[in-house]
Amino acid sequence: MASHLGGLSGAPVVRVESLIRSFGLRTILDGLSLDIDKGEFVALLGRSGSGKSTLLRALADLDDKVSGSGRLETPDKKSVVFQDARLLPWKRVLENVMLGLNLPDAAKRGRAALEEVGLGGRENAWPVELSGGEQQRVALARSLVRDPELLLADEPFGALDALTRLRMHDLLRQLCARHQPAVLLVTHDVDEAVTLADRVLVLDKGGIVADIAIDIPTPRDHGDRRFGEVRSELLRHLGVETKPVLPV
């Protein structure tokens, strides 16, 4: 069994070695290893069904059936954001953000977090009164109010329209610069990965088959030549052939 040691003292916030997860006879994660450093933003790409969500669930302690000869170490202070905001419809926005936060200044923190995600003044709204993008902002506020060392995000912008998604990229970048959590962002969107991450991983056949540091200054321009080269390299690892990048 993997050991959930917690309480890391060294540099990596996440340390995974030889992780195995099978469903029946199908082995999805097959001896996978991975480190994430303090404050590092890592994006995870992979074909549909490659096991991205399975890995994220293991890191979120939502799966007690992972195994392996190695280890699975994550910090205690971690938050998860999913594709749907998963707000409780019978609680107001501020109550959703404060949920389970047993601190004397919970309301103050919750208001500050809502302010940070651009929802100051909407504390008393019901979730149903918010747009999809606003609901995801509440989910981000709910995560960050806990001051996590690790933020796990499973396609958090996958259900949003393209313009809202771009706005959410800006917001997430600002929030991460301010709070400095380590991040693992699962996404299908290669451009999203290259725009946001310090490092992009590709998951295939049960393990990490590409680990690419993104050496492009931020904010990143999709039309930039280096952006195009990294995009093509990632698409190759994902089994998608692209035309060579032409000189401008």
Ligand X SMILES: Nc1ncnc2c1ncn2[C@@H]1O[C@H](COP(=O)(O)OP(=O)(O)OP(=O)(O)O)[C@@H](O)[C@H]1O
- For residues 27 and 20, give the distance between their C-alpha atoms in angstroms, rounded to a whole number: 7
**What DSSP character marks residue 217?**
P
Query: Contacting ligand X (CB under 6 A), which of 16, 20, 28, 230?
Result: 28
Burial class (CB in 10 A: 0-12, 13-18, 19+), 6: exposed
Per DSSP (E only), the strands in 47-141 are 72-73, 78-81
Query: Closest separation between CB of residue 196 and ligand X, Å?
Result: 18
CA angle 38, 168, 161 (to 5 degrees): 140
Query: Contacting ligand X (CB under 6 A), which of 34, 40, 53, 202?
Result: 53
Residue 20 sits in the site that holds ligand X (CB under 6 A)? no
Which single residue is written with the structure tokens 């590092």?
40
Residue 49 sits in the site that holds ligand X (CB under 6 A)? yes
Query: Closest separation between CB of residue 210 and ligand X, Å?
Result: 15
Residue 50 sits in the site that holds ligand X (CB under 6 A)? yes
Residue 143 sits in the site that holds ligand X (CB under 6 A)? no
Query: Contacting ligand X (CB under 6 A), which of 7, 48, 223, 248?
Result: 48
Residue 46 sits in the site that holds ligand X (CB under 6 A)? yes
Residue 237 sits in the site that holds ligand X (CB under 6 A)? no
Single out the segment in contact with ligand X by CB under 6 A; choices: 31-39, 52-60, 66-74, 227-235. Answer: 52-60
Single out the segment in contact with ligand X by CB under 6 A; choices: 42-50, 141-149, 161-169, 173-181. Answer: 42-50
Q: Which is nearer to ligand X, 98 or 153 (CB)?
A: 153
- For residues 200 and 194, give the distance between their C-alpha atoms in angstroms, rounded to a whole number: 7
DSSP per-residue letters across 134-165:
HHHHHHHHHHHTT--SEEEEESTTTTS-HHHH
Which of 151, 142, 143, 131 is CA-nearest to residue 94? 142
Query: Closest separation between CB of residue 57 and ligand X, Å?
Result: 8
Q: Which is nearer to ligand X, 42 or 175 (CB)?
A: 42
Query: Closest separation between CB of residue 19 and ligand X, Å?
Result: 13
By CB under 6 A, how many residues form the interface with ligand X? Answer: 10
Q: How many CB atoms lie within 10 A of CB 7?
A: 7
Q: Which is nearer to ligand X, 48 or 102 (CB)?
A: 48
Which of 90, 74, 72, 87 is CA-nearest to residue 29? 72
| Residues found near ligand X in the complex (CB under 6 A) | 23, 28, 46, 48-54
